[in-house]
Structure 1
């Protein structure tokens, strides 16, 4: 037993002795290593694997234990001394494999670059300062080249990448770059995963190439890209090639909780002030250079889902073309911020237009939907076209089911000299007049069915400015309806019997009609009634006068008459329409009522003659026990005792 313990103790001591000797050898090896040979070996392996020829301008640190590595301070790529180097690294560390190192063989396990500065500068011909290095990497990786298997991982810590495109005037910076590169020293694939900061957002990203050499040589290679950030998520799965210009084909998807914020993040001004929140896109993509063609598109924005095809190009100016079909489209989020009326709903909004977004992109879109919603307006099957070019927007409606009828027309708006130039031409055929006029003009007093033809144009920097400059024509024809707010037949019959009976319930009831015709000419915001006729089963109406669009009020005169048998005398009553559009005053002409009264008509004629008027006044004063005292000599009489009383 004692001898066994003794032998065990000797064995343990021997092992510890060997360990101590080994550790001492490792510690002292760093002093015995040939630093020049080590540096040359590391540089050669980096150049062989990556194709990049590094040179160190600073010191070189070598360690064997506890970590086996060699660190180059102030490293950069050779051959880029004419200007800022394409790649410079504060510290480039090559971690070495320990066993080969003990045998004086220097083999790199992996490479870590601390604070690298990557600079990419692209010229107008498509070449960049990295083109020579990429060509070198591709040449070194070709089959048959002297490329022994070596390290397959490169790590980047706290790096920075700057990109400059002199032709496109693009300048971007990626900061706090932390990446892990799986270099294709064993397989043909390449992959990079990590995070970086771009425009104030942290981005997680990954990219992989199934054939790295093919991609570098411009041949086809599989490509996968994933980018995830708070504003936007993006992915692509397909192939890439570069025979002349970048070509990519595959499945593309994008997702954002707020497309408005995502557009701001990528440097695109979002259109308008409303909508563009939840967004999702999936499509088959074909990209050549800066042009993208999307097929099998499935796009969702603000709850609207559509399918079709889209193309996008950026050749100095952004252009978007699309043909989409949808079930239901709700445009309310995009128009709810366009307030034509002020808060009181009686005055036009005077807030200035902001139409700068019209000049950002050219647009050519065809859109069809089974149902369209715009605020309280509901449209059935609709075909729309939108064309935006050089700051001018043209909307066309091929055909839309609206107000139980059909709508056709066009709307154009352009932005020049800080003002909006608007033109509109519409045809509404066999529509519900009450719903139509309530939506378009804010009045629902007219019911029935009819046609509306509008041709208008205006120019202004606000809705109020447009109302002031409105020119054009509007023609409304209707049938089988009614005008609410007064009953002409009842009123005329009552006043025919008793002209001075008063209006009473004049503003109640409805006036039915068989035919309606309204023709208006607009000149600088004033609508002139050129032909306004209402023909009903029991009464007729005609109107002349004006309506002010800026002040939204009427100043009209008309004649109402009862429909009677042929040869009979018709009772005619002149009347006046005055006041705001949404609540006008309609009242009969008082002079005509007095004339129709047998008792009052002579008095009206009498007071028009001065002598007779003075005599009548004298009689009235005598009856009321008042003296005709000139206004300037009337003494101040305190309220109460002494005040005259009128009987």
Structure 2
């Protein structure tokens, strides 16, 4: 070949290369005939309009459509895109056919039509999954900087923003597979999904993660029954925050913070059944079975049975109180928020080998939580407590003035010496065996109103114990011989029996019968306890059983720091003369 021919060939090749790299505007009718039809075939979206079309042949054949409007054949999906790019397969072009191995939607805004009722997450994801599953095979579909809106009529139910997804190429029998990220309700979320199209018990996998929660599912799906089964893992650093992100936060969820859960799951629509559950709630482990019934509406039902070796019940109470919002009524009032506590139905039964309630310890505990619309009930059906037993019940029902609250507590032969080792501030100076019952009713729309309206009865019986901080024997001896008596505040007093009966009315407990008896003395009490103010006003008379000595006294002050003080004219000598009590 001559030098001139070589130069001419290189010039022609360079010209062809330049032409191939150049984007060329084409007539819209020609694009719709040859290009748009090929895109529609591969991605199942019908292009209804476009502003401009361009084609470049080198280095790879590619088509670019600007200002595109599109819709699925059934109308479930529709939208616009700033640009649609399609990369043609070179070999198919050589063979005289137009096919694509990748389609990019840049800046799309996609509307997804979902049924209005029932409103559920399953309804939101069903249309796009149905669209992808119905394709006989699609090319790789890439969505960049898009948004997806679930819409019912003119109402936008939810929106995914900053959507960046890659839907992998598949054949007719292959599973739908996509991965990427989006922003939902202000949280960046990563997603990875494998969804079967054909076959029974075909593999399904889902991974969803954000800063608020992580969810993984690995299992199989029965296409005929529409049931998915498999291993599920769920983690949330704060369950209330995660649920508030997903949807309305149930008030009862504030009882728990960090949750780590694994289980065998069965999912059918909005109904979820979990077996072999291993749940760590703030570090305490429970095992059992749970079921969440979506109910086809906003009100959901959680039921199940759980068991554990050790659990901190006191933490649940503290965390529920920590989330209590500021009062909206009188200054200092704490609203009950009864409607939010009963927003969802709950039926949970819990068995614990050991439980903690603050510093107190219980064993062999069986508890139940029952929540219905307008009704909240939490019960300790049985529990071993320091050699004895305990039971408790809290029942609240909706009334026009707020909530009617019933509190019941029963103790039987609780060893106070053992309890005092865990509760030194409350029982450290008291021993004996205690039995008793509390039954109080109140009504109101705040904690303070309920306490201020309490009515009912309190009874307590103690046997064979003693208390420190007061020596009744020395106090009586001082009544007889003040000079010879020692300081009564440094001693202790044993008792054979002690019993208290009190009636509550409008938040005030009034003693109707309060007596204590021991070796050489008898004591009687009268007075009241204001539950709202947490204040004691008691008066007593201490009498010697083997002589005429008597001493009157009063107990006055807050519940946790009341002062025991003999009155000024309290000491009565055997002769009947009185003298001032030495301090």
Q: What TM-score do you get using the length of structure 2 for normalisation?
A: 0.84
- What corresponds to 1:575 in structure 2? 552
- What corresponds to 1:397 in structure 2? 380
Q: Is the 8 A contact 2:336 2:447 kept in 1?
A: no
Structure 1 alignment gaps of length 5 or more: 1-6, 142-146, 341-348, 565-569, 602-647
- What corresponds to 2:216 in structure 1? 235
Distance 1:583 1:552 in 2: 10
Answer yes or no: is 1:454 the counterpart of 2:434: no
Distance 2:342 2:522 in 1: 52
Residue by residue over 1:574-594, the C-alpha shift from the partner in whole angstroms, topping out at 9 and shown as x without a partner, is 513231143223315727627
1:462, CA displacement in angstroms?
4.5
Answer yes or no: is 1:298 the counterpart of 2:278: yes
Distance 1:114 1:481 in 2: 81
Distance 1:276 1:362 in 2: 17
1:286, CA displacement in angstroms?
1.0
1:494, CA displacement in angstroms?
3.6
Q: Cα gap change, 1:488/1:550 in structure 2, threshold over 3 Å: closer, same or farther?
A: same
Work out the number of aligned pairs and report it.
563
Alignment of 1:502-513 (within 5 A): 505-513=487-495
Q: Name the SS of the counterpart of 1:590 in structure 2.
A: strand
1:394, CA displacement in angstroms?
0.7
The correspondence for 1:376, drawn from 359, 362, 367, is: 359
Residue by residue over 1:351-398, the C-alpha shift from the partner in whole angstroms, topping out at 9 and shown as x without a partner, is 413425303221110001111112211112211111111142211112
Q: Is the 8 A contact 2:572 2:579 kept in 1?
A: no
Alignment of 1:612-627 (within 5 A): none
- What corresponds to 1:157 in structure 2? 144
Q: Cα gap change, 1:444/1:164 in structure 2, threshold over 3 Å: closer, same or farther?
A: farther
- What corresponds to 2:464 in structure 1? 480
- What corresponds to 1:586 in structure 2? 565
Q: Is the 8 A contact 2:112 2:128 kept in 1?
A: no
The correspondence for 1:425, drawn from 408, 430, 433, is: 408
Residue by residue over 1:177-218, the C-alpha shift from the partner in whole angstroms, topping out at 9 and shown as x without a partner, is 111111323762321111111111111111112x4355xxxx
- What corresponds to 2:197 in structure 1? 212
Distance 1:337 1:429 in 2: 29
- What corresponds to 1:4 in structure 2? none
1:419, CA displacement in angstroms?
4.4
Answer yes or no: is 1:54 the counterpart of 2:47: yes
- What corresponds to 2:325 in structure 1? none
Q: Cα gap change, 1:190/1:592 in structure 2, threshold over 3 Å: closer, same or farther?
A: closer
- What corresponds to 1:120 in structure 2? 112
Distance 2:27 2:369 in 1: 73
- What corresponds to 2:316 in structure 1? 334
Q: Cα gap change, 1:157/1:228 in structure 2, threshold over 3 Å: closer, same or farther?
A: same
Distance 1:277 1:133 in 2: 34
The correspondence for 1:87, drawn from 79, 84, 96, is: 79
Q: Cα gap change, 1:404/1:71 in structure 2, threshold over 3 Å: closer, same or farther?
A: same
- What corresponds to 2:328 in structure 1? none
- What corresponds to 1:222 in structure 2? 203
Structure with more of its chain in strand, by fraction: 2
The correspondence for 2:57, drawn from 54, 61, 64, is: 64
- What corresponds to 2:451 in structure 1? 467
Residue by residue over 1:477-502, the C-alpha shift from the partner in whole angstroms, topping out at 9 and shown as x without a partner, is 1111123332222322342346xx69
- What corresponds to 1:520 in structure 2? 502
- What corresponds to 1:16 in structure 2? 10
- What corresponds to 1:268 in structure 2? 248
- What corresponds to 1:546 in structure 2? 528
Q: Name the SS of the counterpart of 1:212 in structure 2.
A: coil
Answer yes or no: is 1:365 the counterpart of 2:344: no
Q: Cα gap change, 1:37/1:592 in structure 2, threshold over 3 Å: closer, same or farther?
A: closer
Distance 1:483 1:403 in 2: 18
Q: Is the 8 A contact 1:62 1:70 kept in 2?
A: yes
1:506, CA displacement in angstroms?
3.6
Residue by residue over 1:571-625, the C-alpha shift from the partner in whole angstroms, topping out at 9 and shown as x without a partner, is 2515132311432233157276278355989xxxxxxxxxxxxxxxxxxxxxxxx
CA RMSD of aligned residues (A): 3.9
Distance 2:14 2:573 in 1: 131
1:22, CA displacement in angstroms?
4.0
Q: Is the 8 A contact 1:241 1:248 kept in 2?
A: yes
Residue by residue over 1:148-191, the C-alpha shift from the partner in whole angstroms, topping out at 9 and shown as x without a partner, is xxx63111111111113579x98110011111111323762321
Q: Is the 8 A contact 1:269 1:360 kept in 2?
A: no
- What corresponds to 1:282 in structure 2? 262
Distance 1:128 1:386 in 2: 31
Distance 1:129 1:559 in 2: 74
Residue by residue over 1:333-353, the C-alpha shift from the partner in whole angstroms, topping out at 9 and shown as x without a partner, is 33235779xxxxxxxx94413
Q: Is the 8 A contact 1:544 1:558 kept in 2?
A: yes
Distance 2:300 2:18 in 1: 68
Answer yes or no: is 1:387 the counterpart of 2:373: no
Distance 1:535 1:277 in 2: 49
Q: Cα gap change, 1:563/1:139 in structure 2, threshold over 3 Å: closer, same or farther?
A: closer
Q: Name the SS of the counterpart of 2:477 in structure 1.
A: helix
Q: Name the SS of the counterpart of 1:370 in structure 2.
A: strand
1:448, CA displacement in angstroms?
1.0
Answer yes or no: is 1:192 the counterpart of 2:186: no
1:123, CA displacement in angstroms?
1.9
Q: What TM-score do you get using the length of structure 1 for normalisation?
A: 0.77
Q: Is the 8 A contact 1:89 1:114 kept in 2?
A: yes
Computing the radius of gyration over CA atoms, which structure comes out larger, 1 or 2?
1
Distance 1:527 1:129 in 2: 56
Q: Cα gap change, 1:319/1:405 in structure 2, threshold over 3 Å: closer, same or farther?
A: same
